[in-house]
Structure 1
Amino acid sequence: MIRTATPADVPVIHTLIRELAAYEKASEEARADEEQLREALFGERPAAFAHLAVDDESGEPVGFALWFLNFSTWRGVHGIYLEDLYVRPEARGGGHGRALLTELARICVERGYERLEWSVLNWNRPAIGFYESLGARPQDEWTVYRLTDGALAALGSGR
Protein backbone atom coordinates (compact mmCIF):
# COMPACT_ATOMS: atom_id res chain seq x y z
CA MET A 1 0.00 0.00 0.00
CA ILE A 2 1.23 3.50 -0.83
CA ARG A 3 0.07 6.56 1.08
CA THR A 4 0.93 10.23 1.21
CA ALA A 5 3.13 11.11 4.17
CA THR A 6 1.72 13.13 7.06
CA PRO A 7 3.52 15.27 9.66
CA ALA A 8 3.36 12.30 12.06
CA ASP A 9 5.55 10.36 9.59
CA VAL A 10 8.53 12.71 9.84
CA PRO A 11 10.41 10.54 12.39
CA VAL A 12 10.11 7.41 10.23
CA ILE A 13 11.04 9.34 7.07
CA HIS A 14 14.11 10.64 8.90
CA THR A 15 15.02 7.09 9.92
CA LEU A 16 14.55 5.81 6.36
CA ILE A 17 16.76 8.61 5.03
CA ARG A 18 19.48 7.61 7.50
CA GLU A 19 19.14 3.97 6.40
CA LEU A 20 19.42 5.03 2.75
CA ALA A 21 22.53 7.08 3.51
CA ALA A 22 24.13 4.08 5.22
CA TYR A 23 23.26 1.86 2.23
CA GLU A 24 24.86 4.43 -0.09
CA LYS A 25 27.96 4.54 2.14
CA ALA A 26 27.40 8.23 2.88
CA SER A 27 26.03 8.38 6.43
CA GLU A 28 28.15 11.42 7.29
CA GLU A 29 26.52 13.41 4.47
CA ALA A 30 22.95 12.91 5.74
CA ARG A 31 22.77 15.88 8.09
CA ALA A 32 19.09 16.86 7.82
CA ASP A 33 17.22 16.73 11.11
CA GLU A 34 13.54 16.07 11.72
CA GLU A 35 12.65 19.75 12.05
CA GLN A 36 14.21 20.53 8.67
CA LEU A 37 12.23 17.68 7.11
CA ARG A 38 9.01 18.83 8.79
CA GLU A 39 9.49 22.34 7.41
CA ALA A 40 10.40 21.12 3.91
CA LEU A 41 7.48 18.70 3.70
CA PHE A 42 4.76 20.40 5.74
CA GLY A 43 5.82 23.99 6.36
CA GLU A 44 4.08 27.12 5.10
CA ARG A 45 5.58 26.61 1.61
CA PRO A 46 6.38 22.90 1.16
CA ALA A 47 9.42 22.37 -1.03
CA ALA A 48 9.18 18.58 -1.20
CA PHE A 49 6.65 15.79 -0.94
CA ALA A 50 6.77 12.22 0.30
CA HIS A 51 4.94 8.94 -0.05
CA LEU A 52 5.35 5.86 2.11
CA ALA A 53 5.21 2.20 1.18
CA VAL A 54 3.43 0.42 4.02
CA ASP A 55 3.52 -3.31 4.74
CA ASP A 56 0.03 -4.73 4.16
CA GLU A 57 0.15 -6.98 7.20
CA SER A 58 1.91 -4.93 9.86
CA GLY A 59 0.93 -1.46 8.64
CA GLU A 60 4.53 -0.37 9.20
CA PRO A 61 6.37 1.81 6.68
CA VAL A 62 8.95 -0.20 4.72
CA GLY A 63 10.01 2.42 2.20
CA PHE A 64 9.57 5.94 0.93
CA ALA A 65 9.81 8.24 -2.05
CA LEU A 66 10.73 11.90 -1.51
CA TRP A 67 10.29 14.20 -4.49
CA PHE A 68 9.88 17.76 -5.69
CA LEU A 69 8.77 19.55 -8.82
CA ASN A 70 11.19 20.49 -11.54
CA PHE A 71 10.46 22.36 -14.77
CA SER A 72 11.35 21.65 -18.38
CA THR A 73 11.94 24.79 -20.41
CA TRP A 74 11.85 22.62 -23.54
CA ARG A 75 8.48 21.05 -22.78
CA GLY A 76 7.04 24.01 -20.91
CA VAL A 77 5.65 21.96 -18.03
CA HIS A 78 6.59 20.65 -14.61
CA GLY A 79 7.95 17.22 -13.94
CA ILE A 80 8.83 15.27 -10.83
CA TYR A 81 12.39 14.85 -9.63
CA LEU A 82 12.66 11.86 -7.34
CA GLU A 83 15.28 12.77 -4.76
CA ASP A 84 15.15 9.53 -2.78
CA LEU A 85 13.58 6.11 -3.26
CA TYR A 86 14.33 3.53 -0.62
CA VAL A 87 12.85 0.22 0.43
CA ARG A 88 14.21 -1.58 3.46
CA PRO A 89 16.27 -4.65 2.47
CA GLU A 90 13.90 -7.11 4.14
CA ALA A 91 10.97 -5.71 2.12
CA ARG A 92 12.69 -5.63 -1.27
CA GLY A 93 11.15 -7.81 -3.95
CA GLY A 94 7.67 -7.23 -2.52
CA GLY A 95 6.62 -4.67 -5.12
CA HIS A 96 7.03 -1.62 -2.88
CA GLY A 97 9.55 0.19 -5.09
CA ARG A 98 7.41 -0.38 -8.16
CA ALA A 99 4.31 0.79 -6.28
CA LEU A 100 6.06 4.01 -5.21
CA LEU A 101 7.20 4.73 -8.77
CA THR A 102 3.73 3.85 -10.09
CA GLU A 103 2.21 6.43 -7.74
CA LEU A 104 4.63 9.12 -8.91
CA ALA A 105 3.96 8.23 -12.55
CA ARG A 106 0.23 8.42 -11.82
CA ILE A 107 0.68 11.93 -10.37
CA CYS A 108 2.64 12.95 -13.49
CA VAL A 109 -0.08 11.68 -15.82
CA GLU A 110 -2.90 13.17 -13.75
CA ARG A 111 -1.27 16.61 -13.58
CA GLY A 112 0.11 16.74 -17.11
CA TYR A 113 3.75 16.50 -16.04
CA GLU A 114 5.90 15.05 -18.80
CA ARG A 115 8.94 13.76 -16.92
CA LEU A 116 9.77 11.61 -13.93
CA GLU A 117 13.51 11.77 -13.33
CA TRP A 118 16.03 10.60 -10.75
CA SER A 119 19.68 9.76 -10.30
CA VAL A 120 21.16 6.40 -9.36
CA LEU A 121 24.65 5.57 -8.17
CA ASN A 122 26.68 3.87 -10.89
CA TRP A 123 27.54 0.94 -8.60
CA ASN A 124 23.91 0.21 -7.65
CA ARG A 125 23.38 -2.51 -10.27
CA PRO A 126 20.24 -3.96 -8.61
CA ALA A 127 18.52 -0.56 -8.74
CA ILE A 128 19.66 0.08 -12.31
CA GLY A 129 18.29 -3.28 -13.43
CA PHE A 130 15.01 -2.59 -11.66
CA TYR A 131 14.62 0.86 -13.22
CA GLU A 132 15.44 -0.42 -16.70
CA SER A 133 12.88 -3.23 -16.28
CA LEU A 134 10.25 -0.49 -15.88
CA GLY A 135 11.31 1.19 -19.13
CA ALA A 136 13.49 3.92 -17.60
CA ARG A 137 16.59 4.77 -19.60
CA PRO A 138 19.84 6.37 -18.44
CA GLN A 139 20.65 9.83 -19.69
CA ASP A 140 24.26 9.06 -20.56
CA GLU A 141 24.89 12.35 -22.33
CA TRP A 142 24.41 14.33 -19.09
CA THR A 143 26.73 14.55 -16.10
CA VAL A 144 25.47 15.78 -12.73
CA TYR A 145 27.43 18.64 -11.17
CA ARG A 146 27.06 19.85 -7.61
CA LEU A 147 28.35 22.75 -5.52
CA THR A 148 28.35 22.28 -1.74
CA ASP A 149 30.08 23.48 1.38
CA GLY A 150 33.15 25.67 0.79
CA ALA A 151 32.85 25.79 -3.01
CA LEU A 152 29.22 26.91 -2.77
CA ALA A 153 30.04 29.52 -0.13
CA ALA A 154 32.96 30.85 -2.15
CA LEU A 155 30.95 31.22 -5.34
CA GLY A 156 27.97 32.64 -3.49
CA SER A 157 30.13 35.30 -1.87
CA GLY A 158 31.72 36.28 -5.18
CA ARG A 159 35.13 34.74 -4.42
Structure 2
Amino acid sequence: MYSVWLTAQQQQVWRKYLAATSLLQTAMHRQLQQDCELSLADYDVLVALSERGEQRVNELADTLGWEQSRLSHQIRRMRGRGLVQRRDSGDDRRGASVSLTDGGRTTLEKAAAGHVELVRTTVFEGLSPTQLEAFGEVLDAMLGRLAG
Protein backbone atom coordinates (compact mmCIF):
# COMPACT_ATOMS: atom_id res chain seq x y z
CA MET A 1 0.00 0.00 0.00
CA TYR A 2 1.22 3.50 -0.84
CA SER A 3 1.70 6.22 1.72
CA VAL A 4 -0.36 9.34 1.15
CA TRP A 5 2.92 11.31 1.07
CA LEU A 6 5.86 11.24 -1.29
CA THR A 7 9.08 9.83 0.10
CA ALA A 8 11.72 12.40 0.98
CA GLN A 9 13.64 11.54 -2.20
CA GLN A 10 10.51 11.73 -4.36
CA GLN A 11 9.61 15.08 -2.81
CA GLN A 12 13.09 16.44 -3.50
CA VAL A 13 13.02 15.29 -7.13
CA TRP A 14 9.46 16.56 -7.60
CA ARG A 15 10.34 20.03 -6.30
CA LYS A 16 13.38 20.17 -8.58
CA TYR A 17 11.22 19.13 -11.53
CA LEU A 18 8.67 21.86 -10.76
CA ALA A 19 11.38 24.50 -10.36
CA ALA A 20 13.14 23.43 -13.57
CA THR A 21 9.98 23.43 -15.68
CA SER A 22 8.86 26.79 -14.29
CA LEU A 23 12.25 28.41 -14.90
CA LEU A 24 12.48 26.88 -18.38
CA GLN A 25 9.00 28.14 -19.33
CA THR A 26 9.95 31.63 -18.11
CA ALA A 27 13.25 31.58 -20.01
CA MET A 28 11.60 30.39 -23.23
CA HIS A 29 8.90 33.03 -22.97
CA ARG A 30 11.47 35.77 -22.31
CA GLN A 31 13.67 34.67 -25.23
CA LEU A 32 10.74 34.58 -27.66
CA GLN A 33 9.48 37.99 -26.52
CA GLN A 34 12.92 39.57 -26.87
CA ASP A 35 13.82 37.98 -30.20
CA CYS A 36 10.53 38.33 -32.08
CA GLU A 37 7.70 39.46 -29.81
CA LEU A 38 6.10 36.02 -29.70
CA SER A 39 4.51 34.32 -26.74
CA LEU A 40 5.30 30.69 -26.02
CA ALA A 41 1.72 29.88 -27.06
CA ASP A 42 2.30 31.66 -30.40
CA TYR A 43 5.46 29.64 -30.91
CA ASP A 44 3.71 26.35 -30.08
CA VAL A 45 1.02 27.03 -32.70
CA LEU A 46 3.56 28.09 -35.33
CA VAL A 47 5.69 25.00 -34.75
CA ALA A 48 2.70 22.65 -34.93
CA LEU A 49 1.56 24.19 -38.20
CA SER A 50 5.07 24.20 -39.67
CA GLU A 51 5.55 20.51 -38.82
CA ARG A 52 2.12 19.26 -39.90
CA GLY A 53 0.93 21.83 -42.41
CA GLU A 54 -2.61 23.16 -42.55
CA GLN A 55 -4.84 21.55 -39.94
CA ARG A 56 -8.46 21.60 -38.93
CA VAL A 57 -8.94 23.58 -35.74
CA ASN A 58 -10.02 20.54 -33.73
CA GLU A 59 -7.00 18.55 -34.94
CA LEU A 60 -4.65 21.39 -34.03
CA ALA A 61 -6.23 21.58 -30.56
CA ASP A 62 -5.60 17.84 -30.13
CA THR A 63 -2.02 18.21 -31.39
CA LEU A 64 -1.32 20.94 -28.83
CA GLY A 65 -3.34 19.35 -26.02
CA TRP A 66 -5.41 22.53 -25.69
CA GLU A 67 -9.10 23.18 -25.23
CA GLN A 68 -10.69 24.33 -28.47
CA SER A 69 -11.83 27.61 -26.91
CA ARG A 70 -8.25 28.46 -25.90
CA LEU A 71 -7.04 27.70 -29.41
CA SER A 72 -9.80 29.78 -30.99
CA HIS A 73 -8.77 32.82 -28.94
CA GLN A 74 -5.10 32.21 -29.77
CA ILE A 75 -5.80 31.89 -33.49
CA ARG A 76 -7.85 35.11 -33.45
CA ARG A 77 -4.94 37.01 -31.88
CA MET A 78 -2.41 35.47 -34.26
CA ARG A 79 -4.60 36.23 -37.30
CA GLY A 80 -4.70 39.85 -36.22
CA ARG A 81 -0.89 39.91 -36.31
CA GLY A 82 -0.71 38.19 -39.70
CA LEU A 83 0.90 34.98 -38.42
CA VAL A 84 -1.82 32.48 -39.38
CA GLN A 85 -4.85 32.31 -41.60
CA ARG A 86 -8.12 30.56 -40.93
CA ARG A 87 -10.36 29.18 -43.62
CA ASP A 88 -13.95 28.27 -42.85
CA SER A 89 -15.52 25.26 -44.47
CA GLY A 90 -19.22 25.91 -44.51
CA ASP A 91 -21.28 26.15 -41.35
CA ASP A 92 -19.22 23.61 -39.40
CA ARG A 93 -16.84 25.58 -37.12
CA ARG A 94 -14.91 22.39 -36.45
CA GLY A 95 -14.31 22.23 -40.18
CA ALA A 96 -12.28 25.44 -40.20
CA SER A 97 -8.63 25.04 -41.11
CA VAL A 98 -5.60 26.99 -39.93
CA SER A 99 -2.30 27.47 -41.73
CA LEU A 100 0.81 29.59 -41.53
CA THR A 101 1.06 32.80 -43.49
CA ASP A 102 4.34 33.81 -45.09
CA GLY A 103 4.75 36.26 -42.20
CA GLY A 104 4.17 33.46 -39.70
CA ARG A 105 6.78 31.27 -41.37
CA THR A 106 9.29 34.13 -41.41
CA THR A 107 8.62 34.91 -37.75
CA LEU A 108 9.02 31.24 -36.80
CA GLU A 109 12.33 31.02 -38.65
CA LYS A 110 13.54 34.13 -36.82
CA ALA A 111 12.46 32.73 -33.45
CA ALA A 112 13.74 29.18 -33.93
CA ALA A 113 17.48 29.81 -33.74
CA GLY A 114 17.34 31.48 -30.34
CA HIS A 115 14.80 29.00 -29.02
CA VAL A 116 16.86 25.99 -30.09
CA GLU A 117 19.99 27.48 -28.56
CA LEU A 118 18.20 28.12 -25.26
CA VAL A 119 16.82 24.57 -25.12
CA ARG A 120 20.16 23.05 -26.10
CA THR A 121 22.15 24.96 -23.49
CA THR A 122 19.67 24.70 -20.61
CA VAL A 123 18.34 21.17 -21.10
CA PHE A 124 20.85 19.07 -23.03
CA GLU A 125 24.29 20.63 -22.66
CA GLY A 126 26.50 18.58 -20.39
CA LEU A 127 24.34 15.46 -20.47
CA SER A 128 26.13 12.27 -21.40
CA PRO A 129 24.56 10.03 -24.04
CA THR A 130 23.50 7.68 -21.22
CA GLN A 131 21.85 10.52 -19.28
CA LEU A 132 20.08 11.74 -22.41
CA GLU A 133 18.75 8.25 -23.12
CA ALA A 134 17.59 7.85 -19.51
CA PHE A 135 15.93 11.28 -19.59
CA GLY A 136 14.04 10.28 -22.73
CA GLU A 137 12.95 7.02 -21.15
CA VAL A 138 11.66 8.80 -18.03
CA LEU A 139 9.66 11.21 -20.17
CA ASP A 140 8.28 8.37 -22.33
CA ALA A 141 7.11 6.54 -19.19
CA MET A 142 5.45 9.68 -17.80
CA LEU A 143 3.76 10.48 -21.10
CA GLY A 144 2.55 6.89 -21.41
CA ARG A 145 0.92 6.99 -17.97
CA LEU A 146 -0.63 10.39 -18.67
CA ALA A 147 -2.05 9.19 -22.00
CA GLY A 148 -3.99 6.59 -20.14
The two structures have a TM-score, normalised by structure 2, of 0.25
The structure that is helix-richer by fraction is 2
The two structures have a TM-score, normalised by structure 1, of 0.24
If asked which structure has higher relative contact order (CA below 8 Å, sep 6+), I would say 2
The structure that is strand-richer by fraction is 1
Q: Which has the larger radius of gyration?
A: 2
